[in-house]
Amino acid sequence: MSKFKGRVTRIEGLSDRRRLPRLGIIRLGIKAISEKTGNEYPKEVPYFVAPDEVRSIYGEQPTEQQSTVLL
């Protein structure tokens, strides 16, 4: 039996870092439905598909990286 069972170990300098929460995922396409089979498949779009928090800052269809910093 291990003597470390039930204990939480911390990595000094790594475990105490603050991290920003993940608000969503930025994607490169959307899910489309095939007319023939009715199944979903990924379809590429010319803009980034972003969560609402990102779209409120960069617009409805962001296409390139902008230099706005969120604080």
The pTM for the full model equals 0.55
Return d(Cα 22, Cα 19) in angstroms, integer: 9
3-state secondary structure of 45: strand
Q: What is the dihedral of CA 20, 22, 27, 32, to 10 degrees?
A: -170
Q: List the beta bridge partners of residue 32.
A: 41
Q: How many Cα neighbours within 13 Å face the side chain of 27?
A: 12
Instruction: Render pLDDT for 4-50 as a digit per residue (tens, 0 to 9).
Output: 566 677 777 777 778 888 878 889 999 999 999 999 999 999 999 99
Contact between 54 and 65 under an 8 Å Cβ cutoff? The reply is: no
Domain segments of the chain as ranges: 27-58
